[in-house]
Amino acid sequence: MKSIEPVTESALSKAQYEAQVQRSIDLLKAELPHLFQRDLSYDIYTADIYFRDPVNTFKGKFNYRIIFWTLRFHARLFFNAIRFDVHSVSHPTQDTIVATWTVDGILRLPWQPRLCFNGTSTYKLNTAAQIYEHLDTWDRKPSDILRQFWRGASVDGAN
């Protein structure tokens, strides 16, 4: 009797892979602008997804979900208004998706300081076109972003 090879994550044809990549791009374009208001779809990520930004490093889908829950919680708690503006989502290489974005918000303080910074999210894809790594970079240091909280600080970091 001939054994049947099990279908694994990596058994995608090129067309299936590209279709899954496009699905991920479409989901990111649709969901990222609302990440401060509602949860994301997590089926495009691996169970052991690795996340790193200038202040956090996490591994695992549970922790990945927690970081987005925390963002939504703090957005509601600390901001009168906050936006996550997605400028572009591209697929520059076979195993990479890149999103560029801006966070812009008004803090719940009497002088209503504005917090604003730009970032890039780089998503790495496995052979099943699932995201296994999410790396964020920001256009300024976290300490410079926090300085925007104080009276008189400029959004462009000039103060």
Dihedral angle sign, alpha carbons of residues 73, 76, 79, 84:
positive
Note the pLDDT of residue 146: 78
Where in the chain are the domains? Answer: 14-147
pLDDT of residue 144: 85
pLDDT at residue 151, as a whole number: 56
pLDDT tens, the chain, 159 aa long: 444 433 345 578 999 999 999 999 999 999 999 999 999 999 999 999 999 999 999 999 999 999 999 999 999 999 999 999 999 999 999 999 999 999 999 999 998 999 999 999 999 999 999 999 999 999 999 888 877 776 555 445 444
Exposure of 143 by Cβ count < 10 A (0-12 exposed, 13-18 middle, 19+ buried)?
exposed
Q: Give the pLDDT of residue 122.
A: 99
At the topology level of CATH, where does 14-147 sit? Nuclear Transport Factor 2; Chain: A, (3.10.450)
Phi, psi for residue 44 in degrees, rounded to 5: -85, 0
pLDDT given for residue 142 in this prediction: 86
pLDDT of residue 10: 57
Which residues lie across from 134 on neighbouring strands?
Answer: 51, 123
Q: What is the reported pTM?
A: 0.85
DSSP states of 64-131 = HHHHHHHHHHHHHHHEEEEEEEEEEEEEEETTEEEEEEEEEEEESSTT--EEEEEEEEEEEE-TTS-E
